[in-house]
Structure 1
Amino acid sequence: MEIRLPFGGKDRQVDIDSLPGALRVGGIFRCQFPSPLSQKSMEDKIWEGLNHYKKFFDNKKILTVVNDGYRRTPTDLLLPMIWDYVEGGEFIVATGTHRNPSGDELRKIFGPLLDEVEPKLHIHNCYDETSLVDIGKTRLGTPVRLNREVIEADVIIAINSVEPHFLAGFSGGRKSIVPGLASFDTVQANHQFAKDINSSSLYLENNPLHLDLEDAMSFLGDKTILGIQCVTDRAGRIIGLFVGTLNEAFLKACDCAKKFYVVEVPRKFDIVIANCEPPLDVNLYQLQKAQEHGSRMVKDGGVLIVMGACKEGVGSEYFMKLVEFYPTPKEVLEKGINDNSFGIHKLIKTARQLKCFKIYYVTMLEGYLVRKVYFKSFNDVNDALKSALSEIGDNVELAFLEDAGYTVPEVKH
């Protein structure tokens, strides 16, 4: 039996029959998506959703917010459909704490409209003090500092894709503004709530990180904020589109995403291979999203193997410097719980999981970088699988979670 998994732009083959011991494949779990929406269907939904608000666009400063390359959002497809509403306004890429997009990435985001957008295009920089405005604090104490373009706009339109998010419940919606267009200290303060067990995929109610984001958005209550919120399949084709006020469209998109991104899993397994696909396989920092979802399927005493190429390296030097203060999982659990440094939540979540099962990473990175953040490092999935079998023994059950950065397993027993 051979199973092929995408990795770094090519397929990697897992040759089950050549492995030692009595290894059983208990399941290959992947999302099942409906046919994508037609062009006319999408255009009709946008017209129905925006036409009601057309009067709010007259003689107003309009800001269109788009995602960077770390999301599957088909902005290049959606932007032409709303162009008549937004062409006279400004545009901004919500990078959050990510790096600036390259020229090629901007071309991919905006498509043929880039040349028209570029003279009015802003790239958010969470460290640029001159571009940030302080507008208050949330009830949980998070300072809210946002990009000046947000503060000066009368009408904001956010184009997002909505998928499960391992901390905020779902991506999209309010995340376009906070953390997308927020200062580093705002993002860092909000991320302290990521240590809470309720800050997890699919959870909005009682999720302190999400509730803090909502509270931050309340400071913009005097503005017209609209959302073009889509749900896509693995190829980025739109299967659900929701248009209206940002929160209304976002919540409808969450309901849609929950239908298609959750897979039912009958039980936990001895070994789970969680394969991460673009764009979340881009670096080590993003790859933990696949780890979080895969961890739901692993038996105590088992092994989780996370696959992702990490072509751009670790993704956060800040994160790698942080781990120097906590060189072992034991130390981060003992000392890190009161540390609100950016990225601490990833170390704590990993350390908690390592108390239950082992975690291997299969990447293109040098091994010492992976080991530094508590994982056993491999460059080949078959080597990782052989090592897992030697740890656990014979007669084990293996499962695969495809597109694990977005796919959320729901274990029944």
Structure 2
Amino acid sequence: MTKNVKTIPFAFGRGISELNMPEKNISSIILPSESEIKEEGASLIKKALETPIKCNRLSEIVNQDSKVAIIVSDVTRPTPTAKILPPLLEELYLGGAKDENITIVFALGLHRQQTEEECRQLVGTEIFEKIRCIQHDRERCRLLGETSFGTPVEVFEEVADSDIIISTGTLEFHYYAGYGGGGKSILPGVSSEKSILSFHSFYSKVFEGDPLSGRADSPARKNIEEAARIAGLDFILNVIINSKKEIVAAVAGDLVEAHRKGAKYVDAMYKVPVEPADAVVVSCGGFPKDINLYQATKSLEHAIPAVKRGGSIILVAECAEGIGNKVYECWNRECRDPEDAVERFRNCFEFGGHKAAIVGKTAKEFKLYLVSKLPKEESEKAFFTPVKSIDEALEKVFSENPEAKVHIMPEGGWTLPVME
């Protein structure tokens, strides 16, 4: 490689894809402000549990008869659940909680059921074998109330019947809810299909406005928190992780106050001021954020503020499990062009179709390239130009403008560029 060309590795599934770029064309490499790990994740979690925000310690809340539900993330999330659970269980044992009264619930939302092996890997073999682990069942939910947004709060009965409800997860940016984490494990995590569809239906009213990612005041976040209060969510334990999936911070306590403190950590690490360039190459950061196109579109949205209108976005996402949502797949087949998808969504909310509308809206403003394992026709139906490599996409960009300036985003799933 000549000295005028820079080689940059990009996460692609569980492997690596490389980018070779003339240095003169690199505008910047947009990376999170990640500091060195100074403390073990287990220690950070323990401290958070010992000093919860606006809430009593779990060891003061539980007793030996308490029925405890611990809600955990599913396989589509990078949450290090196996590291979170041991200190959390220790805190519960301190208050007298017994294994036989504890249930771990995988929050699936509308995602697929997991295999037993996936469940075992997520929580760790020792915990999987000593504590009851179940998956959310959308058919077994109970109506507990309604939010001011008109969303019915129908929660998985195994959670609703618990004395103590604890939510765990990773706090990161979210395209609609502003941030993940907090009460999101209740709505949509362990809610009925009716509740989840009601929750998502508001997105058709706001998706053409300003981006909601990184905003704690988004309507969806308020709806989530009302639902979580109605459901009786007692305590949250959220972690913030870096691009290597190492825990760098932890917050525990009240579902709103602790969440907002966690959001400040996320902002400090992952909001990066940028001047828009002619193009951006964005990787989701690898598995599981690029497990399918449904998940990968979150990184596409994050890249938008880094590009001038009319510029190019090159999305690097393996998509080993394909599109990832049957409705999204259906809309891709049925919508003739990006405008058709946007117009259809304006007039008819359908969960899954929102992804086609998001990509359609983006394709109307930018040229979209996709480096993935999807069949060529599937990429094209999703409004992307399929390319075999990042270099091939860049050739197309430079053929139109040899002097094009390009931002590089190796961690698009985590990083949120903000206009300077």
> TM-score normalised to the size of structure 1?
0.91
Distance in 2 of aligned mates of 1:144 and 1:211: 13
Residue 299 of structure 1: how far off its partner (Å): 0.9
- What is residue 293 of structure 1 aligned with on the other side? 302
Matches within 5 A, 1:235-274: 235-265=244-274, 267-274=275-282
Residue pair 2:292, 2:320 contacting (<8 A) in 1 also: yes
Distance in 1 of aligned mates of 2:129 and 2:256: 29
Give the aligned residue type for 2:398: L
Residue pair 1:199, 1:209 contacting (<8 A) in 2 also: no
- What is residue 106 of structure 2 aligned with on the other side? 93
Percent identity of the aligned residues? 26
Residue pair 2:164, 2:234 contacting (<8 A) in 1 also: yes
- What is residue 223 of structure 2 aligned with on the other side? 212
- With over 3 angstroms needed to count, the CA separation of the structure-2 counterparts of 1:55 and 1:45, relative to structure 1, is closer
Distance in 1 of aligned mates of 2:403 and 2:146: 55
1:385 pairs with 2:398: no
Q: How many residues align?
A: 399
Distance in 1 of aligned mates of 2:244 and 2:152: 37
Residue pair 1:241, 1:253 contacting (<8 A) in 2 also: yes
Distance in 2 of aligned mates of 1:51 and 1:76: 24
Distance in 2 of aligned mates of 1:261 and 1:72: 16
Report the RMSD for the aligned CA atoms in angstroms.
2.0
Distance in 2 of aligned mates of 1:292 and 1:152: 38
1:47 pairs with 2:50: yes
- What is residue 30 of structure 2 aligned with on the other side? 29
1:227 pairs with 2:236: yes
- SS of the aligned residue for 1:355 comes to helix
Residue 151 of structure 1: how far off its partner (Å): 1.2
- SS of the aligned residue for 1:396 comes to coil
- What is residue 367 of structure 1 aligned with on the other side? 376
Give the aligned residue type for 2:133: L
Residue pair 1:273, 1:304 contacting (<8 A) in 2 also: yes
- What is residue 75 of structure 1 aligned with on the other side? 81
Residue 176 of structure 1: how far off its partner (Å): 0.8
Deviation readout 1:134-164 (Å, 9 max, x if unpaired): 2233222223221001210110111111011
Residue pair 1:189, 1:340 contacting (<8 A) in 2 also: no
- With over 3 angstroms needed to count, the CA separation of the structure-2 counterparts of 1:271 and 1:224, relative to structure 1, is closer
The answer for unaligned runs of 5 or more in structure 1 is none
Q: Which of 173, 195, 201 pairs up with 2:213?
A: 201
Q: Which of 4, 9, 16 pairs up with 1:11?
A: 16
Deviation readout 1:202-245 (Å, 9 max, x if unpaired): 1121x22222222222322xx36101111111122111111112
- What is residue 191 of structure 1 aligned with on the other side? 200
Residue pair 1:242, 1:250 contacting (<8 A) in 2 also: yes
- What is residue 135 of structure 2 aligned with on the other side? 123
Distance in 2 of aligned mates of 1:32 and 1:89: 38
- What is residue 69 of structure 2 aligned with on the other side? 63
- What is residue 357 of structure 1 aligned with on the other side? 366
Distance in 2 of aligned mates of 1:318 and 1:40: 42
Residue pair 1:73, 1:160 contacting (<8 A) in 2 also: yes
Give the aligned residue type for 1:69: V
Residue pair 2:302, 2:413 contacting (<8 A) in 1 also: yes
1:110 pairs with 2:104: no
Moved more, 254-263 or 317-326: 317-326
Distance in 1 of aligned mates of 2:293 and 2:273: 27
Residue 301 of structure 1: how far off its partner (Å): 1.8
Give the aligned residue type for 1:243: A
> TM-score normalised to the size of structure 2?
0.89
- With over 3 angstroms needed to count, the CA separation of the structure-2 counterparts of 1:124 and 1:249, relative to structure 1, is same
- What is residue 412 of structure 2 aligned with on the other side? 404
- SS of the aligned residue for 1:242 comes to strand
Deviation readout 1:34-80 (Å, 9 max, x if unpaired): 23333444323323338634343122211111111222212111211
Residue pair 1:323, 1:373 contacting (<8 A) in 2 also: yes
Distance in 2 of aligned mates of 1:70 and 1:15: 30
The answer for unaligned runs of 5 or more in structure 2 is none
Residue 348 of structure 1: how far off its partner (Å): 2.3
Residue pair 1:61, 1:154 contacting (<8 A) in 2 also: yes
Residue pair 2:44, 2:250 contacting (<8 A) in 1 also: no
- With over 3 angstroms needed to count, the CA separation of the structure-2 counterparts of 1:13 and 1:55, relative to structure 1, is closer
Deviation readout 1:171-229 (Å, 9 max, x if unpaired): 11111111110122222221122231356211121x22222222222322xx3610111
